[in-house]
Amino acid sequence: MLDTAEAAPVATPSADPSPRPAPARRRLRWPLAILPWVFPAVALVLALLNTGVPGRDIALYAFYFAVDIVLPGTLIHRWVRGSRGNVPEDLGLGAATGLLIMLGGWALCAFLGTQVLLPWWPALLVVPFLAVPRLHKHWRVSRPRPLPLRWSWIVAAGLVLLVGAQYPSWTDTPLPPAGGAIYQDLWYHLALVHEMTRSMPFQVPQMAGDSLTYHYLSDADIAVASMITKIDPAVVLLRLWIVPVAATGVLVTAALTRSLSGKWWAGALGGVVAILGLPMLLGAATTPLGVNPVSPYSPSQTYAIPLLALLVILAVDVLRGRALGWSWLMVFPLALACAGAKSSALPPFLAGLLAAVVLVAFRYRRRLLPTLALLGLTLAAVALGFRLFAGGGAGTLGFQPLAILYWVVPYRQTIGYQDVIDKNILIPYGVEHTGTAGRAFIAGVLIWWLIMQAPRTLAVAGLVARPTRTEPAMWLLAGMTTAGAGATFLLWHPSASQIYFYISAAPFGTVAVAWIMAATARSWRPVLAGVLAGGIWALIIPQMYVPQVDRVVRWALILAEPLVRTTIVAVCVAAIALILRRVFTGRTPWRALPAGILAAVLGAGLIGGAQRQFDQVDAALSGVPAPVEDDPGKLIEPEEMLAAQWLAANTGRDDVVATNVHCTPIDWTSGCDARAFWVAGLGGRRTVIESWGYTDEAVALDGVNGERYMRQPAPDFERYMLNEKVFANGQEADIEEMKRLYDVKWLFADDRAAGIVSSNLARVAKVRFTSGPVTIYELP
C-alpha cells in the first residue's frame, strides 16, 4: 500500500467558480522540486572543470545524455510500461531504457557499417511521439502521484556523494596528453572504445585480426557518446561518462525499492545505499572484499547496474503476477545487454530467479507459466551472451573453494603466507595444511566478512521474516545475493575477478534489506533513529590498525574488537530507547527493534563509506600529492601521448599500426608485463601486436613456468618476432611481409621501448611525425 504522501491529490469542488490567485506554495512547487537537483549538478560541473574538462565538452555531453538517452528512453518507457506518476523515477527508468535503446541503434549501425547515421537514431525514436496524436500523452506524467520533496533531497544528497566519490580518482588520473601513469585497464577499455566505432566483426585492437570476445557493451556506449558529440573518447571515458550512468542506477534501484516496499522513504534510502553505500567499516583494520559497485576503473561493472536493475523490476512484476504486456519485448534484449555489459551480472540473477521459481511452483502456480517464460528468456540470453561476449579471461574461471582468501589481508598475512595463485590445486595451501586453530580462524574470518557485509547479506533474513518470506521477489533478491557470495568463495580467477559476482548482486541485497526494514516498520521514526544511530557510531568508533606482528591470535583480536564494541553499544542504545519509550508512553515498542537495527546497519554502511570518501576528497582538494610511481619506465611521457593522439587524428579509422611498445615498464629488461595498452588506447588504431596480457591464451597460461598471465610470452610468437625484426632491422623485405599479412600502414617507434629502433626505417618509410622519443612512419 502506498504511503499517504504518495497518493494522488483529491480534487474538491469549489463553492466559488470564479478564478482565484494561485497560493504561494503552488507557485513555488516547481522551483522547490528542482532545487535539490541543482546541488549534484553544480558539484559535478565544478569537479569536472577542476579536473581539466572544458566547459564546452560538459555542455555537449549533458545535452547528449538528456536529448539522446533520457528523452527517447523516457518516452518509450512510458509508452511500454506507463508512467510512475512522478518525474524523477520516470526519468531514471527512462535513462536506463535509453541506454538499452541506444545499444540497439549502435549494434544496427555497426552491423550495417552506417555509423554516420547514428546521430539520427534518437530522432527516429522521438518523431512518432511528436507526429502521432495518441502518443502525445507520453510527454507528460500520467495520473500524477508526486513524491515528497524529502525523497528528492535524500536522493540528491546521494548524488552529491557520488560526485565526491569519483573526484579523487579524477585528480589521480590525468587527462591526456598530460603524461603520467594511468591504470592499465583504462587504456584497455579506451582501445575497445575506439574498436566499437568500427563495423562488425570486431577485432582485438592490440592484436589485429583476432576476433574480440569480451563484455564490451560499456565501451560501445562510451563510443556512441564520443561519435555523436565529437568529444575525445578519453575525456568521455575518464571523466564524463561514469556519473550519469551511476546516477541512473541510483534512480532505478530507488524505484525498485519503492515498488517492493510501497514507502517513499524506503525507496530513497534503499536506492542511495544500494549504489553508494559500503560494507560496514566500523573502524576495522582492513576493508572487507566487495566494496562499491561503482568503480571508476571498471566501466563494465558500473554500466551493468542500471540495466540489471531494470531487468529486476520486470522480473518483480512477473513474480508478483502482474501482466507485462508489451514489456515482454524488453526482457531478452535487456538480459542480453546485461550479459554483454558484465559477464558476472546475469549468473546471480539467474540463480535468484531459480530460487523464486521454486516458491512460485509450490505456492503461486498461476504465476508459474510467465515465470518460466522469464527464466527461459534469461537462459537464452545467457547462452547467446556466452557465445558473443565471454572472453578476455572470463573463461578462465575454475572451481577452487576459498581461493579468494588470497586477497584477504588477515588470512594472507598469517595462515596463507605461503599461498600461491594456482588453478591446479583443490584448495589453497594454507587452508589445506592448517590445524584446528587455523580452521577456526578461517571460519572466524568468513563470519567477520558476512557481518561486515550486513547491509547486503541480511537479505537472507527476508526468507524468514513474516512480511516477506512468502514473496517470490524476496527469494529472487536473496538468491542473487547468496549466489554472488557463493560464487566469490567457491570459484578461482587469477586476478580475483570472481568477486564481481558478488559486487553485481550486492545492490540488490541492499534493496532487500531496505524492503525488510520497511515491511517491519510501523512508522518512519524507528528507521530515522536507526539510521542516525548507525551513522553516528560509524563516525565515532575507534579506528583499529594492522597488527605489527602477523599472528593469528593478534589478528583475531583486531577483527573481533570492533564487532564486540558495536554489539555492546547496540544493546545499550536499544535498551535505553526501549526504557525511555516505556517511561513516556507506557508501552515497550519491541516490534520497532528489527526495523531500527536494519536501519542502523544501512546507516553505518552509508555514513561510514561517506566519511571515507569525504576524507579522500579532502586530500584531493588540499593538494596532497598522490603516490608517485618510482619506476620512470611505467610513466608515459606527454610527448608519447601526443604522438599517439596524432595517430588518432591523422590516420584512417581502420588503419593498422605496428609498434615496438609492448610492456610496462616500457624499458623492461626481464619479465615483460604485457599490459601497456596505451598505443592502441590513445592512438585509437588496431595494432599488429601491442600488449597481449589480457588475451584468452595468456590468461589461460597463468602459472605456467611460475609466471603470472601478464608475463607469459606472446601467444603468436611468429607475429611477435616479425614485428620486432621490422623495428630492429628496418629491412624492406620484413616490412613487405608484415604489410602482406596484416595490411600495416603505420609504424609507431618509441626509442624508450626495450630493444633498438633501426635508423634504416627512415630510408624505407616516410617520417610523418616526431614527438620526443616517438617517431611515426608511414609505409609506402
**Tens of pLDDT, residues 396-414:** 789 999 999 999 999 999 9
Together in a domain, 642 and 614? no
Together in a domain, 61 and 108? yes
pLDDT for the residue 32: 87
Question: Is 0.85 surpassed by the pTM of this model?
Answer: yes
Inside any domain, residue 372: no
Place of cell 545535452: 63
Inside any domain, residue 77: yes
> Distances from the Cα of 440 to the Cαs of 115, 435, 444, 563, in angstroms?
59, 9, 6, 17
Residues facing residue 399 across a β-bridge: 491
| pLDDT-above-90 percentage for the chain | 85
How many residues can be counted in the chain?
780
Please say which residue of 559, 592, 621 terminates a domain: 621
Dig out the grid coordinates for 282 from the structure: 566500523
Distance between CA atoms of residues 138 and 144, nearest Å: 12
Together in a domain, 112 and 258? yes
Place of cell 586530500: 619
Together in a domain, 119 and 250? yes
Distance between CA atoms of residues 386 and 390, nearest Å: 5
Structural domain total, the chain: 3
Q: Are 683 and 690 in contact (CB under 8 A)?
A: no
pLDDT for the residue 392: 56
Together in a domain, 661 and 547? no
pLDDT for the residue 522: 86
Give residue 364's Cα distance to chain centre.
34
Together in a domain, 770 and 700? yes
Inside any domain, residue 206: no
Inside any domain, residue 165: yes
pLDDT for the residue 626: 58
Domain of 602 in residue numbering reads as 534-621
Together in a domain, 554 and 655? no
Distance between CA atoms of residues 633 and 750, nearest Å: 12
Dig out the grid coordinates for 356 from the structure: 523464486
User: What stretches in the chain show pLDDT beneath 50?
Assistant: 1-21, 394
Distance between CA atoms of residues 332 and 252, nearest Å: 19
Closest CA to 774 of 716, 726, 727, 704: 727
Inside any domain, residue 726: yes
Inside any domain, residue 186: no
Together in a domain, 143 and 53? yes
Give me the sign of the Cα torsion angle 283, 286, 289, 293: positive
Together in a domain, 680 and 748? yes
Q: Are 482 and 502 in contact (CB under 8 A)?
A: no
Please say which residue of 562, 590, 621 terminates a domain: 621
Distance between CA atoms of residues 318 and 372, nearest Å: 10
Inside any domain, residue 88: yes
Together in a domain, 44 and 100? yes
Distance between CA atoms of residues 709 and 761, nearest Å: 33
pLDDT for the residue 21: 46
Together in a domain, 256 and 144? yes
Closest CA to 139 of 127, 124, 125, 129: 129
Dig out the grid coordinates for 546 from the structure: 594492522
pLDDT for the residue 17: 40
Coil vs helix vs strand at 50:
helix
Inside any domain, residue 356: no
Residues whose CB falls within 8 Å of the CB of residue 654, separated by 6 or more in sequence, listed in order: 198, 686
Together in a domain, 612 and 637? no
Closest CA to 257 of 477, 29, 481, 59: 477
Q: Are 158 and 271 in contact (CB under 8 A)?
A: yes
Q: Are 97 and 314 in contact (CB under 8 A)?
A: no
As separate numbers, helices (DSSP H) first and strands (DSSP E) second, the chain gives: 31, 7
Please say which residue of 577, 595, 621 terminates a domain: 621
pLDDT for the residue 162: 97
